[in-house]
Amino acid sequence: MTACLTAAILLCTILTLRPEPALASNVGDSLTVGIQSTRTLQIDPLEPIERDMLSIYHLVYESLFTIDDDYYPQPLLAESWEESGDGRTWTFHIRTGATFSDGSPLTAQDVVATANYIIERAKDETAATKGYYSNLSFFVSRISASDERTVVVRTPANRSYYGVLYAMTFPVLKQSELGQMDPTGSGPYIISDFQPGQYLYLDANLNWWRSTPIVREINFLLHDTQTAVMESYEYGRVNTIFTRATAAAQYSSGQNSLTLAYRTNQIEVLLMNQSYAKLKSLNVRLAIRHAIDPGYILSNIYLNMGTRTNLLAIPGTWTYNADLDGMFTYDPELSRRLLAEDGWADSNEDGILDKLGEDGKLIEMTMRLLVYEEPDNDVRFETATYIRNQLAQIGIDAEIVTTTYSGSDENPGALERLGAGSFHLALCAYALDPCPDPGFCLIGGNTYNYSRYRSQTMTDLCNQLRSCYSQPDYRDTLMQIERLFAEDCPFMCLFYRGGAVLTRYMYTTVRDVRELELLRGIESFRP
């Protein structure tokens, strides 16, 4: 009998032994989860290549810090920490009794070795990929262990700030196992079996430094498509699934099933290229912002699979300035007045605004709207069409230009066009780092400042943010950045993409179920 046939028989046996519940209820000692996974061939927590695998890794590997429901950094493997008074030196104390799942102690040397492994890879010019946690290299200039339980981090002068606590969320591995596949973790679960493309099994870590989880096993069945994941749930082969497909919107919490909406780290935005003469005008940018209704896009096109935001921050958390929401109204009449103030009118009554340029020639209000294909976003083109139609209502003629995400020198895709500035408007997305720091796309000259936004005040504020080592100072500066963002309109934030956990069993009491940690709270769930 071949290994594959043996695995198939084993899988069928497991499914047969797990009856479906008649009613939605609390989870017992086992949960069967369906996810999409075809590319993960080895267990490598420092280089995950599929987003749903990260939710598994977060149950197996732990970090010095975690992020709570209100988006504050909280100690996990660290039990306490101190800051030197200038943000340059941070000292972390490893939790007493923290061990790996094999019972061996987790030490400061393991933390330091893991961090240096990540940083060295990030700085390796010959490396094919820099690693998922490569941003750690921006936050740490030196890391060392002063004893078995004390980690000392020295920060760069330009990033001596509160954000370093968010950078301490990388998984800590055994020093002796760095570079190996399937390394030992310290989390509440261990990987007991893995067959790529078929299944992955977790068992409770009996040596976990807290207490043994009540949910003793979590079995993941791996599927090749999102459609297969949905079918697996519909036919009762799994109890729970993760999906970002808009088809999940048809499910609502009821007697037999619960729907837990979650937020991803991907924020949909409409970029406005300010190297383009027409978009240098603040009135034109504001007119575009007031002409588009993100709430309509979210509810009618994305079927509420997302979280509305006006800012590069998460609504409902300490990072978001809700006082500014009144500046982001949907108001086409205001759009028309703003454009009229700028001298735009429809002189030839063709529906497109125009005005005389400095050379006496007629300039028409025309733009190109760039949009690119994305494998798990089949409604972005529909969104682009809606935006084009809304802009037409205020006299802006937007031609939709479709492309792939990445291309070549001969046939550039969106990534190349954004980098070169060869667009007017662009419907795209930023995948945000855990650290709430918008400077990456707002500081003048930064790589991801695709809108070519230039404001010395904004650049100074972003640099000031990176010197705020206390949370109150950090928040105060962040609020100033968000106010200037609202006033200057560098680009338009639409919403954070969302997804859904469909489940027949409730398994968590946390308020913020989020992508990359979709089983967050299962380790401490008490029915």
Contact criterion met (CB below 8 Å) for 423 and 270:
no
17 contacts: CB under 8 Å, gap ≥ 6? none
pLDDT-derived band at 255, boundaries 50, 70, 90: low
Pairing of strands 30-36, 217-223: parallel
pLDDT-derived band at 9, boundaries 50, 70, 90: very low
Where is pLDDT greater, at 333 or 256? 333
What is the mean pLDDT of the segment spanning 163-174? 98
What is the mean pLDDT of the segment spanning 162-186? 97
Contact criterion met (CB below 8 Å) for 303 and 245:
no
Q: What is the DSSP letter of 326?
A: G
Where is pLDDT greater, at 249 or 199? 199
pLDDT of residue 375: 73
pLDDT-derived band at 119, boundaries 50, 70, 90: very high
pLDDT-derived band at 367, boundaries 50, 70, 90: very high
Q: Over 50: is that where the pLDDT of 20 sits?
A: no
Q: How many H-runs (helices) and E-runs (strands) does the chain carry?
A: 14, 21
pLDDT of residue 462: 98
Pairing of strands 89-94, 362-364: unpaired
How long, in residues, is the chain? 527
- Smallest Cα–Cα separation from 15: which of 232, 194, 226, 223? 232
Q: Give CA angle at 493 (122, 273), nearest 5°.
A: 80
Kindly list the structural domains of the chain, giving each domain's residue range(s) and its CATH number in brackets, ordered by start: 23-60+187-239+504-527 (3.40.190.10), 62-186 (3.90.76.10), 264-498 (3.10.105.10)
Q: What is the pLDDT of residues 232-243, one digit of tens each?
A: 999 999 999 999
Q: Over 50: is that where the pLDDT of 10 sits?
A: no
Could you tell me the pTM of the whole model? 0.91
Contact criterion met (CB below 8 Å) for 495 and 266:
no
Task: Compute the mean pLDDT over every residue in the chain, rounded to the nearest whole number.
Answer: 92
What is the mean pLDDT of the segment spanning 257-264? 90
| 3-class secondary-structure state, position 488 | helix
Distance of alpha carbon 480 from alpha carbon 465, whole angstroms: 10
Pairing of strands 189-195, 65-67: unpaired
**Tokens describing residue 210:** 């807290």
pLDDT of residue 22: 39
Tokens 């987790």 found at: 106
pLDDT of residue 139: 97
pLDDT of residue 408: 85
What is the mean pLDDT of the segment spanning 336-355? 96
Q: Name residue 355's beta-bridge partners.
A: 363
pLDDT of residue 252: 66
Tokens 């299944």 found at: 199
pLDDT of residue 24: 60
Q: What is the pLDDT of residues 428-481, one digit of tens each?
A: 999 999 999 999 999 999 999 999 999 999 999 999 999 999 999 999 999 999
Q: Over 90: is that where the pLDDT of 74 sits?
A: yes
Contact criterion met (CB below 8 Å) for 467 and 160:
yes
Q: What is the pLDDT of residues 481-524, one digit of tens each?
A: 999 999 999 999 999 999 999 999 999 999 888 999 999 999 99
Q: What Cα–Cα distance (Å) separates residue 399 from each residue in 271, 284, 390, 391, 488? A: 15, 17, 12, 11, 25
pLDDT of residue 191: 98
Neighbours of 123 (CB within 10 A): 11
Distance of alpha carbon 250 from alpha carbon 242, whole angstroms: 14
What is the mean pLDDT of the segment spanning 275-297? 97
Distance of alpha carbon 358 from alpha carbon 349, whole angstroms: 22
Q: What Cα–Cα distance (Å) separates residue 98 from each residue in 110, 111, 183? A: 12, 12, 17
Q: Over 50: is that where the pLDDT of 3 sits?
A: no
What is the mean pLDDT of the segment spanning 344-358? 93
Where is pLDDT greater, at 6 or 478? 478
| 3-class secondary-structure state, position 228 | helix
pLDDT of residue 254: 61
Which ranges of 40-142 does DSSP label H, i.e. alpha helix?
A: 51-60, 108-123, 136-139
pLDDT-derived band at 253, boundaries 50, 70, 90: low
**Tokens describing residue 139:** 């936050």
